[in-house]
């Protein structure tokens, strides 16, 4: 551990805690469990300039004000990228599901927390997660990484422009400016059975929150890129969400889900290629087949027609998967 991190722990009375590093994810952030300190806690390291601790601190405060469970911030040094935060425990929703826990109660509790999250006014100064931004992020994985790996050369400028127009045409009808977590899925959720709903589901990894359409988050939950979700559970969650937010039009919302699902599944399917090639993390490619299958389902909805038509013109169905040269790495 760097001397600066040790000094931060010393300043906040955690220097004598036993340090247990937690598995890293696809970001630059690192977490260490601190055992035996003043209280159960985690050291969060978000090293600048790759990471900015400020958004995490601001969104955590917003979630607490909304009656939801975000880790309490016990100490923070945004300049160096250090924070000591509340430890929600050892088991995420994803880990509980992997261990055989009943899925429906966990997903429905997560859905209730999500409905509350979306129902309250968002905090100020969140970035946009709109059609333009989503077109850019999809292009950054699909065109910059997947396309050259699949076709052996970068796409033409005309292809890039056509792709951007297709994403924009698909998403523009569903413009909205509500709070979007952007990574609302079981690995970022912590069941807290001692708390009253909807605070019984702890929220993590929310620093990339933005202003967009709430359908994006529900898609992230019930069409998880990293695990299969029982269709019956998916439908139960959508029904619960709509019941908790009666102001929404169900048909419009389902159209928004399909459009946002198409963008998300394409972007994430191609993100696995970037993680494999740029970051040396080929194990993420094992999620590619699921993401491409979910994309295929989303493309069947009329709301996703602009993207479906683009892919039909330029990407034959046989190529819609991990690029052939990377298949061995996914094993």
**Unique residue bearing structure tokens 């946009």:** 128
- How far apart CA 256 and CA 329 sit, in angstroms, is 34
Confidence of residue 330 (pLDDT cuts 50, 70, 90): low
CATH node for 102-330: 3.90.1200.10
Question: Which CATH superfamily includes the segment(s) 3-86?
Answer: Phosphorylase Kinase; domain 1 (3.30.200.20)
Would you say residue 331 has pLDDT above 60? no
Cα dist from 300 to 138, 215, 309, whole Å:
19, 17, 11
Query: Cα 92 vs. chain centroid, distance in angstroms?
Result: 14
Q: What are the sequence ranges of the domains in the chain?
A: 3-86, 102-330
Q: Which pLDDT value is given to residue 191?
A: 98
Q: Which pLDDT value is given to residue 326?
A: 86
Mean pLDDT of 205-217: 97
At 217-272, the pLDDT tens digits run: 999 999 999 999 999 999 999 999 999 999 999 999 999 999 999 999 999 999 99
- How far apart CA 159 and CA 209 sit, in angstroms, is 30
Mean pLDDT of 49-75: 96
At 79-126, the pLDDT tens digits run: 999 999 999 998 999 999 999 999 999 999 999 999 999 999 999 999
Q: Degrees (nearest 5) of the Cα angle 316, 318, 319?
A: 70
Q: Which pLDDT value is given to residue 1?
A: 85
Would you say residue 277 has pLDDT above 90? yes
Average pLDDT, the chain: 96
pTM score, whole prediction: 0.94
Mean pLDDT of 22-28: 79
Confidence of residue 173 (pLDDT cuts 50, 70, 90): very high
């Amino acid at each position: 551990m760097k001397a600066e991190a040790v000094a931060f722990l010393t300043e906040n009375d955690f220097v004598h805690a036993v340090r247990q590093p937690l598995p890293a994810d696809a970001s630059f952030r690192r977490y260490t469990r601190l055992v035996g300190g003043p209280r159960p806690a985690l050291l969060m390291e978000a090293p600048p300039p790759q990471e900015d601790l400020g958004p995490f601190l601001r969104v955590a405060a917003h979630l607490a004000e909304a009656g939801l469970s975000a880790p309490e911030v016990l100490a923070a040094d945004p300049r160096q990228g250090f924070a000591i935060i509340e430890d929600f425990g050892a088991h995420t929703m994803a880990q509980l599901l992997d261990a055989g826990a009943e899925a429906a109660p966990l997903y429905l509790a997560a859905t209730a927390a999500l409905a509350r999250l979306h129902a309250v006014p968002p905090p100020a100064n969140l970035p946009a997660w709109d059609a333009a931004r989503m077109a850019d992020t999809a292009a950054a994985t699909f065109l910059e990484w997947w396309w050259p790996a699949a076709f052996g050369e970068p796409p033409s400028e005309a292809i890039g422009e056509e792709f951007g127009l297709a994403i924009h045409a698909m998403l523009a009808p569903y413009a909205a400016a509500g709070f979007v977590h952007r990574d609302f899925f079981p690995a970022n959720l912590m069941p807290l059975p001692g708390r009253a709903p909807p605070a019984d589901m702890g929220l993590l990894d929310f620093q990339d929150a933005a202003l967009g359409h709430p359908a994006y988050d529900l898609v992230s939950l019930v069409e998880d890129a990293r695990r299969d979700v029982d269709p019956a559970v998916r439908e139960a969650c959508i029904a619960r969400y709509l019941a908790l937010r009666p102001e929404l039009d169900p048909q419009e919302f389902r159209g928004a889900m399909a459009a946002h699902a198409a963008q998300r599944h394409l972007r994430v399917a191609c993100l696995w290629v970037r993680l494999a090639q740029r970051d040396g993390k080929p194990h993420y490619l094992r999620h590619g087949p699921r993401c491409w299958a979910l994309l295929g389902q989303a493309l069947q909805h009329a709301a996703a027609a602009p993207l479906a038509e683009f892919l039909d013109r330029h990407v034959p169905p046989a190529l819609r998967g991990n690029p052939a040269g990377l298949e061995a790495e996914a094993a």
